[in-house]
Amino acid sequence: MIQLIQIADDPNTDTSIVRLVGRGVDYLIPQFTYLISESETNHFFLQIATTNRNLSRYAANPFDTISLSQMLALLEDLGYSEDSIVSNITYYDARVEAMIGDDGEPETPFIRPTTGAINRLATSDEIIQYLRLSQVEGNDLRIGKLARSGEAEVAINLDDGILYHHMLVAGSTGSGKSELLSNIAHVASAKNRCVIIFDHKPDHQNHHQENPDAEIRSAFSIDGQDSSQRPVRYWTLDEFDPNSFSRVLGVRAMDLDPEILAGTIFYQPSEINQAETFAEIATAYATDQSSRRQDWTIRDLTQYVLSTQDGQLNNLLYGGNSVGSLHRGTMQALRRRLSRPGRIPPFVDPQPASNSLGQRRPTGDIDDVFKPGLNVIRIGEGHSRGYALFLTRLLQRARELRSVAVQQSPTVNNIPELEVIIDEASDIFTASSRYLRDVATDMLHNQIRRGRTLRIGYVISVQSAGDVPEYMRNNLNTTIVGRHRNLSVLRDALPTSRVEMLEQADRLSPGEMFVDLFEVPSLLLAKMDRSRSKLTVAD
């Protein structure tokens, strides 16, 4: 059995740390391994904070003020056999995670282990109990395992509480984010949720195939054709999407947020005035058309703006009141830019073109997305500018439908509970237009704040955790971070992180991630599973 013996503190010792020594010839204990400290009166749950240091017992002063030889002599006086103390020893710092109460449950460690306490490796059952990890039979809810878990593997599972309380997934390219997002989709689908994943690169166009490289393999069935598998539906905003299984989605301009529509059309940093003015006109136009109970399209709106005199627009906005008027130069620039092709995303009031055989690609209504199983929505690089616009409409509609379900009865399932996975969310938070960035970020923040009440969970995925505003991160209660180079940002994203962990952040291998799991008291080092179903492009 591997044992470490606690030695006395140095006067400068951090009180959350204990100092442990063991035989140098014994098995070396990896960083982040969990231990149990045992004495006659108290037991504690610890975690190795440093990799081993090889010290000589005959060194004069291996620590600041106390000789290691003196400490080992004290241990001999306490009755430890001489063969447990050799000339070369391994030394570790271990962090006190919890005190084990009389009822066997972990408690806040208001006291510490004492000199001479024996430390052994924690068992898997102890790790599960003291970290309060969710354990279920089977692999349906599993996303990975603890990288340091004692004598047996300890799975990391996602339960309803974690899914409802929202998640942040961050890591540089190659860290394994796409693999993780895929497995989160599998877990949420296993909970009978409607899972929506926004696919940019694309990574998620082959979920109807098993991943041959995964230990746990599972595929979805295209549109539920195989009743033994959960369904996957592919959607796209691009009429010419290469995925033959995908159906085209469009949105009506009259259903869109006028501010985000304006920010999408007038997206250059120098176009803030035009965006604000167009948003005012679009809002007033939509209100006027609604009062007349008339439907309208983006073409109707743009034609109205291009052909209507400034005086009439002033009347529409201000009713002839002198408190406001349109700026002539702004209107000239607005009309000039609005006339240019490519300003309006093609998924707004789309008119699908026929292919060479005169056949139109299958289309779908946005309400068709809200069904159990996995719904992959391909954004495509050409539509990144419209990401926030489409996302706003989809989330608005999700909120409307879920509100009806919640208000009618908790048991009514006219729309299932949702898990919305927003990949490459940095496109929203770092948009070149400050106007679009501000209104879109505010929209998403408000949706996340309301999500838990409506049983809508959000997963925000970015390359750098610093891209997500701090006030939004405060509402994301689980944080999973892969390889990261910006340590100051990582420290903000993982407030429970410690120096020894941050030092490893830029060295993590693909799939290795730090996990701050909702209601789990300790920051975990995990090895995430490979995606169960096949990814289009490896992340």
State how far the Cα of 484 lies from the Cα of 465, in Å rounded to an integer.
9
For residue 391 the two structure tokens come to 């996302």
For residue 50 the two structure tokens come to 């440093």
Q: Which residue has the tokens 């497995």?
A: 183
pLDDT mean across residues, the chain: 85
**Rounded mean pLDDT of 504-512?**
85
CA distances from 338 to 260, 267, 330, 342, 345 (A): 15, 11, 12, 9, 12
State how far the Cα of 223 lies from the Cα of 243, in Å rounded to an integer.
14
The set of residues, in sequence order, having a beta carbon less than 8 Å from that of 513 and lying 6+ positions away, is 144, 171, 175, 176, 180, 480, 481, 482, 525, 526, 528
Q: Which helix (H) or strand (E) holds 279?
A: helix 272-291
> How are beta strands 167-170 and 231-236 bridged, if at all?
unpaired
Q: 238 pLDDT exceeds 60?
A: yes
Sign of CA dihedral 221, 226, 230, 236: positive
State how far the Cα of 526 lies from the Cα of 515, in Å rounded to an integer.
7
Q: 137 pLDDT exceeds 90?
A: no
CA dihedral 98, 104, 105, 106 (to 10 degrees): 0
From the CB of residue 336, how many other CB atoms can be counted at a distance below 10 Å? Answer: 11
Render pLDDT for 34-64 as a digit per residue (tens, 0 to 9): 999 998 889 999 999 888 887 765 665 555 4
Residue 396 in 3-state DSSP?
helix
Q: Looking at 360-510, which runs of residues are DSSP E strands? A: 363-364, 373-378, 418-422, 456-462, 478-481
With pLDDT > 90 as the criterion, what percentage of the chain qualifies? Answer: 50
Q: 74 pLDDT exceeds 70?
A: no
Task: Give start and end residues of each alpha helix (H) in 56-159.
Answer: 68-77, 124-131
The DSSP letter of residue 41 is S
More confident residue, 499 or 417: 417
Render pLDDT for 363-385 as a digit per residue (tens, 0 to 9): 788 999 999 999 999 987 666 77
For each of the domains in the chain, give its residue range(s) and CATH number, in order of start. Answer: 4-122 (no CATH), 157-250+360-466+481-528 (3.40.50.300), 256-338 (no CATH)
Between the ranges 58-72, 452-466, 500-514, where is the mean pLDDT highest? 452-466
Q: 179 pLDDT exceeds 60?
A: yes
pLDDT score recorded for residue 302? 96
pLDDT score recorded for residue 387? 87
State how far the Cα of 234 lies from the Cα of 224, in Å rounded to an integer.
12
Cβ–Cβ under 8 Å, residues 190 and 182: no
Listed range (19-23, 123-127, 132-136, 329-333) with the worst mean pLDDT: 19-23
Give the residue among 257, 259, 256, 253 at the shortest CA–CA distance from 351: 253
CA distances from 497 to 41, 490, 491, 494 (A): 30, 8, 6, 5
Q: Which helix (H) or strand (E) holds 515?
A: strand 512-516
Q: Which residue has the tokens 């929506």?
A: 196
**Rounded mean pLDDT of 8-22?**
84
pLDDT score recorded for residue 319? 74
Q: 326 pLDDT exceeds 90?
A: no
Listed range (102-111, 220-229, 338-347, 376-385) with the worst mean pLDDT: 376-385
pLDDT score recorded for residue 65? 43
**Rounded mean pLDDT of 484-507?**
72
Q: 214 pLDDT exceeds 80?
A: yes
pLDDT score recorded for residue 455? 92
Q: Which residue has the tokens 């593997």?
A: 153
CA 197 to chain centre: 12
pLDDT score recorded for residue 64? 47
**Rounded mean pLDDT of 77-106?**
78
> How are beta strands 88-100 and 53-56 bridged, if at all?
antiparallel
The set of residues, in sequence order, having a beta carbon less than 8 Å from that of 520 and lying 6+ positions away, is 131, 132, 133
Q: Which residue has the tokens 């991630």?
A: 513
The set of residues, in sequence order, having a beta carbon less than 8 Å from that of 121 and lying 6+ positions away, is 2, 29, 33, 34, 35, 36, 150, 151
Give the residue among 347, 348, 330 at the shortest CA–CA distance from 281: 330
pLDDT score recorded for residue 53? 81
**Rounded mean pLDDT of 223-237?**
90
State how far the Cα of 274 lies from the Cα of 175, in Å rounded to an integer.
40
Q: 19 pLDDT exceeds 50?
A: yes
Give the residue among 120, 92, 112 at the shortest CA–CA distance from 42: 112
pLDDT score recorded for residue 538? 47
pLDDT score recorded for residue 24? 64
Tell me the Ramachandran region of residue 341: left when phi exceeds 0, alpha when psi lies from -120 to 50, beta otherwise. beta
Band (pLDDT 50/70/90 cuts) for residue 85 is low
Render pLDDT for 520-538 as a digit per residue (tens, 0 to 9): 988 888 999 999 999 986 4
Q: 186 pLDDT exceeds 90?
A: yes
State how far the Cα of 331 lies from the Cα of 335, in Å rounded to an integer.
6
Render pLDDT for 257-313 as a digit per residue (tens, 0 to 9): 999 999 999 999 899 999 999 999 999 999 999 999 999 999 999 999 999 998 889
State how far the Cα of 256 lies from the Cα of 301, in Å rounded to an integer.
12
Q: 504 pLDDT exceeds 80?
A: no
Q: 323 pLDDT exceeds 60?
A: no
For 288-347, the DSSP string reads: HHHHTT----HHHHHHHHHHS-HHHHHHHHHTT-TT----HHHHHHHHHHHTSTTSS-TT
The model carries a pTM of 0.88
